[in-house]
Amino acid sequence: MLHMVASAFSFSLMSLCVKQVGTRIPAAEVVLARSLLSVVLSWWLLKRAAISPWGNRRGLLVWRGCVGTGALLCVYSALASLPLASATVLQYLYPTFTGVLAWVGLREHLSKRLVAAIAIGWLGVLIVAQPATLFGGSMPLPLIPVLVGICGALLTAIAYVSVRSLANTEHPLVVVFYFPLVALPMSIPLVWLDPVLPTPVELIWLVGVGLFTQIGQVYLTRGIMALPAARATAISYVQVIFAGLWGWIVFGETINRWTITGALLVMAATLISLSSPHRPANGELKPAGDR
């Protein structure tokens, strides 16, 4: 639980940094900067722990890196184009996807209580974000960024289920290392198409993206490897609370009764997911490409 909460806090800081540079720096360039720092830090951590960086199930590790990179591009694009709260709510559609994918692909038991926790948490996220179509507003959110955000949530869920599948064979640091290792060659051609030279201040924010993402990835990987995928991602709903705080502190967004209500629902979902009895999986299904 503590690993997942620490991961959520780190990712909320990452989102804050992305939002600061996203209006001018393309998403692919943010991914590249994040990957450069993360691959160096991951290599250093692996050497310090005397762990081989190459892993055992390399095909699945590369697949996790590819899917994770796609998710990052979508999430960063959504953060740059949408309000912080709205982008966060779209990203937090992924626990619903994760629960279903873990049930289908990993044969993890999906209890009624855990389904209820996911639903309550999603409702809390929705209330915190207060989308204009449901709560009123002058203009609805633009369609393309919304679809990109939903795509990012789906790819995130696939990546998280892949991490869960790697739990029995790979060290968490190896899983974390493969993510930026794959993201680097994937993002370089995209940056080459539209390069933007960052200012010194933007460079600091980009370093923040890489640093907080690295910390969040380490805690996230440990948390997902220790918990069933659906329950782990339900706990990570607390990132929405952190996002609300950053919106208030940095961007001057007000915290109204809807935000408080949504935050309470998110906390309730976390408590329900922790108390939900878990039935061990009957077995593990490997992705078709890794059999």
152 occurs within a structural domain: yes
Q: What percent of the chain is predicted at pLDDT more than 70?
A: 86
Q: What are 196-207's pLDDT values in tens digits?
A: 999 999 999 999
- The DSSP line for 51-115 is --TT-S-HHHHHHHHHHHHHHHHHHHHHHHHS-HHHHHHHHTTHHHHHHHHHHHHS-----HHHH
285 occurs within a structural domain: no
Q: What is the mean pLDDT of the chain?
A: 83
Q: What are 123-159's pLDDT values in tens digits?
A: 887 787 666 656 665 455 687 888 899 899 999 989 9
61 occurs within a structural domain: yes
Which of 229 and 35 is assigned the larger pLDDT?
35
What pLDDT, on a 0 to 100 scale, did the predictor assign at position 108?
Answer: 76
What pLDDT, on a 0 to 100 scale, did the predictor assign at position 49?
Answer: 94
Look-up: residue for tokens 């979508």?
A: 74
Query: What total number of domains does the chain contain?
Result: 1
Whether the predicted pLDDT of 258 surpasses 60: yes
**Helix pair 143-165, 58-81: axis angle to 10 deg:** 150
Question: How confident is the model over 157-181, as a mean pLDDT?
Answer: 90
What pLDDT, on a 0 to 100 scale, did the predictor assign at position 287?
Answer: 34
Whether the predicted pLDDT of 177 surpasses 90: yes
Which of 76 and 168 is assigned the larger pLDDT?
76
199 occurs within a structural domain: yes
281 occurs within a structural domain: no
Ranking 22-31, 119-128, 135-144, 166-175 by mean pLDDT, the lowest is: 135-144
Whether the predicted pLDDT of 232 surpasses 80: no
Separation CA 82–CA 105 (nearest Å): 32
283 occurs within a structural domain: no
Q: What are 259-290's pLDDT values in tens digits?
A: 778 778 877 877 776 665 544 444 333 333 33
Which of 90 and 175 is assigned the larger pLDDT?
175
Separation CA 239–CA 91 (nearest Å): 11
Judge whether 272 and 131 are in contact, CB under 8 Å: no
Question: How confident is the model over 173-182, as a mean pLDDT?
Answer: 93
Confidence (pTM): 0.79
286 occurs within a structural domain: no
Q: What are 44-65's pLDDT values in tens digits?
A: 999 999 999 999 999 999 999 9
Question: How confident is the model over 214-242, as a mean pLDDT?
Answer: 79
What pLDDT, on a 0 to 100 scale, did the predictor assign at position 279?
Answer: 47
Q: Which of 276, 267, 272 is nearest to 8 (CA)?
A: 267
Whether the predicted pLDDT of 171 surpasses 60: yes
Domain with 162, as residue range(s), is 2-276
Judge whether 32 and 188 are in contact, CB under 8 Å: yes
Q: What are 65-74's pLDDT values in tens digits?
A: 999 999 999 9
Q: What are 93-130's pLDDT values in tens digits?
A: 777 787 778 788 777 777 888 788 888 888 887 787 66
Q: What percent of the chain is predicted at pLDDT more than 90?
A: 38
284 occurs within a structural domain: no
